[in-house]
Amino acid sequence: MIERAGEKRWIVGVDLGGTNVVVGLVPVEGGEVLGLRTRPTDSARGAKFVVDRMVAMVEEAIAEVTAEHGATRAAVAGVGIGSPGPLDRRTGTVINTPNLGWRNFPLRDLIANAVHLPATLDNDANCATYGEWWLGAGRNVETLVGFTLGTGIGGGIVLNGEIFHGCSDVAGEMGHMTIEANGRRCKCGNYGCLEQYASGPAIATRAVEGIETGVETLLTEMVGGKLEDITAAIVYEAALQDDAFAQEIVHETAKFLGAGVANIINILNPEMVVIAGGVTKAGDRLFVPLRAEVRRRAFRSAQECCQIVPAELHGTAGVVGAAAVFKKEQFGAM
Amino acid sequence: MIERAGEKRWIVGVDLGGTNVVVGLVPVEGGEVLGLRTRPTDSARGAKFVVDRMVAMVEEAIAEVTAEHGATRAAVAGVGIGSPGPLDRRTGTVINTPNLGWRNFPLRDLIANAVHLPATLDNDANCATYGEWWLGAGRNVETLVGFTLGTGIGGGIVLNGEIFHGCSDVAGEMGHMTIEANGRRCKCGNYGCLEQYASGPAIATRAVEGIETGVETLLTEMVGGKLEDITAAIVYEAALQDDAFAQEIVHETAKFLGAGVANIINILNPEMVVIAGGVTKAGDRLFVPLRAEVRRRAFRSAQECCQIVPAELHGTAGVVGAAAVFKKEQFGAM
């Protein structure tokens, strides 16, 4: 039984990132995230420090929410954790995260034992996509694919209401799909990965390259001439201020992203593609050319049944999705 | 109950292609295809002619096999049909096949009514992949992706023992994955599709382009100087005869195909990729550079759990897979 009559129950969602840890309580039946808190990961202080911080945040969130609702700790079903990967979901182990410097780290059980609650572990990009499926943009579809554009490009695949993991938990690495067979070298070792054309750093790099060839743009002024300070966020900002060069970069990004999204539509024929990350701030300046590029590239009968939409759970998709993974694994149904 | 005690039962598999119709009886519990026969499709003679031919072939195959085994017609459970698409599986209708010139054609029910047996309809490339999964190269895996290289590049996706169709039966169009964002124009409307680099006609085109620039090769002699007669099959043949230029083309094809296979491995992380079609005749000359290219491009933890193998059911994968679709839809289990 998921919920006792008349008593609200929650799942704690934990979203561990390279920069921040985000924690909140998600009602088992869905609803608003409560007791939400964010603190820096400070991974340089070591794994024990990070785990202690995560445990403290979980305890604080539980204390706050149960006190507010006059509930007991029994109202908390458990903890869902989202972490950068690769990881082994079965053993709850982080195999290797370059950002945190961890190797074969038994994150799930360390947290579970410290808070005396059952816990689950899944990949952060999978969690973000699953969160959008459960309570965000995808709450009315069964099958969706998520692209998260940031420093890298992550992704997740939800098929018939379940995260699709593949045979070694790698499925969904949409950022490392080749769209230019002889293109830019990627840090994954491949050439021409989507990530090299549509991630935040790729956008900033293209902006700097353009300015260095003499293009006039607001961007130069916005960073006080220090080109190394240009970020994707500043490019979106300039595009919204009608800077022609910044708009051209957003447009180009939309075209590259469109090639990647069209590939997914021809291969998986999903009901929805959800785009998350800072780039969605560019709004229609991104989505109009993105959808046009997909129309140009994908099979008509596949694109006609596929919505391409921005994510809705800004900042909480990871927490909601980590809780959703716990719910699915512990209770079977969503 | 699938099989009555002591009595063998069969499913008729029908593989409708642009060139040939292939029909055979597949034991419900798996095994060798019996009563196999192939006849030209002769689609120019019209849809009624083709359906009559298919019905006649089904009846002949049933008569032959039941007579040989002293069985009655009751030993035949039904008919699985594989057809070029796009199609509507639910209604059993072929929506549109340029090769056959059909539109909204109720193929499944025409066959079912004529032979008085239940029937199912699925896409030919899906059937070929499902056949390999059931009784071919993939019989020991749960999740595999098939690439069929011919005039075009088709594909199919089997996840947890089921064909994955997507939301409008388009899933698995691996040939129309962009691997060169600004590459060759494809007849599907897109640019840089894998099909433009690794299909039979693409291979022949590259060979002719090379010869026209003055390359010396056995190929010229093999077609008596008539370059328009060069086909992919002739290129494989020359490669097996150690012709350096033909080997270079096979090698290049392997590299392009490797980019497409690596994409699938990073996105779906399958246990197996099965390559079917004439190109597999090139054997190690194809598979050695193909596997090397995938190693260069895909995530290590994804490629380590993925075998890349040639198809095993030469000429019968479509028949076996069409029968497998019938079995799955009618009996639920495989």
Q: What is the DSSP string of B227-292?
A: GGG--HHHHHHHHHTT-HHHHHHHHHHHHHHHHHHHHHHHHH--SEEEEEEGGGGGTHHHHHHHHH
Interface ipTM = 0.92
State how far the Cα of B180 lies from the Cα of B223, in Å rounded to an integer: 31
Q: Is A181 on the interface with B (CB under 8 A)?
A: yes
What six digits make up the tokens of A274?
């959800």
> Considering the domain B10-133+316-331 in this protein, what is its CATH number?
3.30.420.40
State how far the Cα of B80 lies from the Cα of B175, in Å rounded to an integer: 25
Q: Where are the alpha helices (DSSP H) in A121-223?
A: 124-135, 195-198, 200-212, 218-222
At B1 the pLDDT is 42
At A3 the pLDDT is 46
Interface test with chain A among B142, B153, B256, B266, by most A beta carbons within 10 Å: B266
Cα R_g (chain A), whole angstroms: 20
State how far the Cα of A302 lies from the Cα of A261, in Å rounded to an integer: 12
Contact criterion met (CB below 8 Å) for A111 and A52: no
Q: How many residues does chain B have?
A: 334
Q: Is B195 on the interface with A (CB under 8 A)?
A: no
At A6 the pLDDT is 54
CATH 3.30.420.40, chain A: domain bounds: 10-133+316-331, 142-310
State how far the Cα of B320 lies from the Cα of B311, in Å rounded to an integer: 13
State how far the Cα of A19 lies from the Cα of B10, in Å rounded to an integer: 60
Cα angle, residue A293 at apex, residues A292 and A295 outer, rounded to 5°: 65
- CA nearest to A18, candidates A93, A98, A100, A95: A100
User: What is residue A137's three-state secondary structure?
Assistant: coil
Contact criterion met (CB below 8 Å) for B214 and B203: no
Q: Is A89 on the interface with B (CB under 8 A)?
A: no
A174:B301 CB<8 A: no
Q: Is A273 on the interface with B (CB under 8 A)?
A: no
CATH 3.30.420.40, chain B: domain bounds: 10-133+316-331, 140-310
The domain defined by B140-310 carries CATH number 1.10.3720.10 = no
Task: Note the pLDDT tens digit of each residue in B235-273.
Answer: 999 999 999 999 999 999 999 999 999 999 999 999 999
Q: Identify the bridge partners of residue A37 per DSSP, sorted by sequence position.
A: A23
Task: Note the pLDDT tens digit of each residue in B85-112.
Answer: 889 999 999 998 877 889 999 999 999 9
Tokens 């993925």 correspond to what residue? B306
Asked which of A59-63, B4-8, B63-67, B130-134 is least confident by mean pLDDT, the reply is B4-8
Residue A149 Cα to chain centre, angstroms:
8
Q: What is the DSSP string of B17-51?
A: -SSEEEEEEEETT----EEEEEEE--GGG-HHHHH
| CA distances from residue B222 to B206, B217, B240, B251 in whole angstroms, order as listed | 16, 9, 13, 20
Beta strands in chain A (DSSP E): 10-16, 20-27, 34-40, 76-83, 87-88, 93-97, 102-105, 119-123, 144-149, 153-159, 162-163, 272-277, 307-310
Q: What average pLDDT does the segment B128-145 reach?
A: 97
At A333 the pLDDT is 84
Task: Note the pLDDT tens digit of each residue in B170-205.
Answer: 999 999 999 999 999 998 899 999 999 999 999 999
| CA distances from residue B12 to B48, B63, B162 in whole angstroms, order as listed | 20, 12, 19
Residues of A in contact with B306 (CB under 8 A): 167
Contact criterion met (CB below 8 Å) for A315 and A281: no
pTM: 0.93
At B333 the pLDDT is 84
* Residue-by-residue pLDDT tens, chain A, 334 positions: 444 545 679 999 999 998 899 999 999 999 999 999 999 999 999 999 999 999 999 999 999 999 999 999 999 999 999 999 889 999 999 998 877 889 999 999 999 999 999 999 999 999 999 999 999 999 999 999 999 998 889 999 999 999 999 999 999 999 999 999 999 999 889 999 999 999 999 999 999 999 999 999 999 999 999 999 999 999 999 999 999 999 999 999 999 999 999 999 999 999 999 999 988 888 898 999 999 999 999 999 999 999 999 999 999 999 999 999 999 999 998 8
B positions 49-78 inside 8 Å of A (CB): none
The domain defined by A142-310 carries CATH number 3.30.420.40 = yes
User: What is residue A82's three-state secondary structure?
Assistant: strand
